[in-house]
């Protein structure tokens, strides 16, 4: 049995929560899953200690974490922001929302407030990569396909745009084709960005998807994330490659991501903090 403190996995959408459950189980680490209704899409077996809770039921969620003797908390998976009417906030959530009154919050600023609330309850908030370090994208080019000069020009332009919108706490992703910005990520998320840009593509070489961490982002939550489905959506939209920030991006099931990129003819690269440094690396 692991000597690590009990881990509470707050599960949103996507496959990341499942990967963290598997990592905790493999390490023999005690864990508990708090799955968010209408957000998480997990099929949790009976041997996985868990409960389901509404996003607006903050008080119940905190009580459940305490009742299950959770010490560390990790946020995993995407959360779609509901309207206030759909949220149906309980008393604790109402108090939290009151603290936000009058402010204008992007995802990063809002998540900082959420982290502060959990820390105020005595929990230690950790990053997904603290639980499973192999999730983090390395620098380099992975798979059989590599970007040509035009693609690299689009990647470098995409990095600049991604950093700019990240500094404004707008989003983390951008799609660039032949120097033209087809779209930037907003509240809709990366999947919707890719789908939107499919209808805007120009003739000729396809565009690229670029994702980067927001410059001032707390890296414990909401790091840029890609998975096999990201690659499939990018290919369906006519993109020819994906570039993500090395060391700051989570790759869910990297072998499957590389295999899917190879199968669909897309390049996959991890770029450094220097937007002018080429991503040199080995095949995965």
Question: Average pLDDT per run of 10 along the chain, which is 284 residues long?
Answer: 86 92 93 93 82 91 96 91 70 79 66 89 95 94 96 97 94 97 92 95 96 91 94 98 96 96 98 59 36
pLDDT of 3 reads: 78
The answer to whether residues 34 and 57 touch, using CB atoms and an 8 Å cutoff, is no
Domain-ending residue, one of 113, 131, 149: 131
Both 41 and 74 in a single domain? yes
Domain-ending residue, one of 116, 131, 146: 131
The answer to whether residues 60 and 53 touch, using CB atoms and an 8 Å cutoff, is yes
The answer to whether residues 268 and 143 touch, using CB atoms and an 8 Å cutoff, is yes
Both 141 and 73 in a single domain? no
d(CA 47, CA 65): 17
Extract the tokens encoding 183: 């779209």
Both 53 and 153 in a single domain? no
For strands 173-177 and 50-53, give the pairing: unpaired
pLDDT of 274 reads: 57
Extract the tokens encoding 122: 């005595």
Does residue 279 form part of some domain?
no
Both 112 and 140 in a single domain? no
Q: Count Cβ atoms below 10 Å from residue 122 Cβ, excluding itself.
A: 10
Does residue 284 form part of some domain?
no
Both 16 and 117 in a single domain? yes
Both 107 and 145 in a single domain? no
Both 153 and 263 in a single domain? yes
Torsion on CA atoms 96, 102, 104, 110, rounded to nearest 10: -10
Domain count, the chain: 2
pLDDT of 95 reads: 82
pLDDT of 104 reads: 55
Both 251 and 147 in a single domain? yes
Domain-ending residue, one of 131, 166, 192: 131
Both 174 and 148 in a single domain? yes
Both 212 and 119 in a single domain? no
The torsion angles phi and psi of 75, rounded to 5 degrees, stand at -90, 125
Q: Which residues pair with 155 in a beta bridge?
A: none
d(CA 220, CA 75): 8
The domain that holds 90 is classified in CATH as 3.40.50.20
Dmax (CA) for the chain in angstroms is 58
pLDDT of 1 reads: 57
Does residue 283 form part of some domain?
no
Does residue 280 form part of some domain?
no
The domain that holds 151 is classified in CATH as 3.40.140.80
Both 173 and 255 in a single domain? yes
pLDDT of 252 reads: 94
Does residue 19 form part of some domain?
yes
Domain boundaries, position 107: 7-131
Q: Which residue has the tokens 């600049």?
A: 160
Does residue 277 form part of some domain?
no
Judge residue 204's burial from the number of C-beta atoms within 10 Å of its C-beta, 0-12 exposed, 13-18 middle, 19 or more buried: exposed
CA 108, chain centre distance (Å): 12
Classify each residue of 51-83 as buried b or exposed e, where b means 16 or more C-beta atoms within 10 Å of its C-beta.
Answer: ebbbbbbbbbbbebbeebebebbbbbbebeeee
pLDDT of 106 reads: 66
Q: Which residue has the tokens 């998976």?
A: 77
pLDDT of 142 reads: 96
For strands 173-177 and 208-211, give the pairing: antiparallel
Both 107 and 171 in a single domain? no
Q: Which residue has the tokens 């209408």?
A: 38
């Amino acid at each position: 049995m692991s000597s690590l403190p009990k881990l509470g996995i707050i599960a949103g959408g996507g496959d990341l929560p499942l990967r963290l459950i598997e990592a905790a189980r493999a390490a023999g680490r005690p864990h508990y899953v708090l799955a968010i209704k209408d957000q998480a899409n997990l099929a949790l077996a009976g041997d996985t200690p868990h409960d389901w809770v509404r996003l607006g039921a903050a008080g119940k969620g905190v009580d459940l974490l305490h009742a299950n003797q959770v010490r560390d908390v990790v946020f995993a998976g995407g959360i779609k922001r509901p309207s206030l009417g759909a949220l149906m906030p309980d008393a604790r959530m109402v108090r939290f929302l009151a603290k936000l009154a009058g402010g204008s919050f992007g995802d990063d600023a809002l998540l900082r407030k959420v982290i502060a609330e959990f820390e105020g309850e005595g929990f230690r908030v950790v990053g997904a990569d603290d639980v499973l370090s192999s999730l983090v994208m390395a620098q380099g080019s992975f798979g059989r396909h590599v970007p040509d000069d035009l693609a690299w020009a689009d990647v470098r332009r995409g990095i600049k745009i991604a950093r700019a919108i990240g500094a404004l706490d707008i989003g983390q992703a951008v799609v660039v084709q032949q120097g033209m910005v087809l779209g930037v990520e907003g509240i809709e998320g990366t999947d919707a960005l890719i789908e939107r840009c499919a209808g805007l593509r120009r003739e000729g070489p396809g565009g690229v998807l670029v994702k980067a961490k927001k410059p001032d982002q707390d890296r414990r939550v909401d790091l840029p994330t890609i998975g096999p489905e990201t690659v499939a959506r990018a290919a369906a939209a006519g993109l020819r490659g994906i570039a993500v920030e090395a060391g700051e991006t989570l790759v869910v099931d990297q072998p499957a991501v590389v295999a899917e990129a190879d199968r669909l003819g897309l390049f996959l690269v991890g770029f450094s903090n220097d937007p002018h440094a080429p991503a040199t690396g080995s095949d995965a």
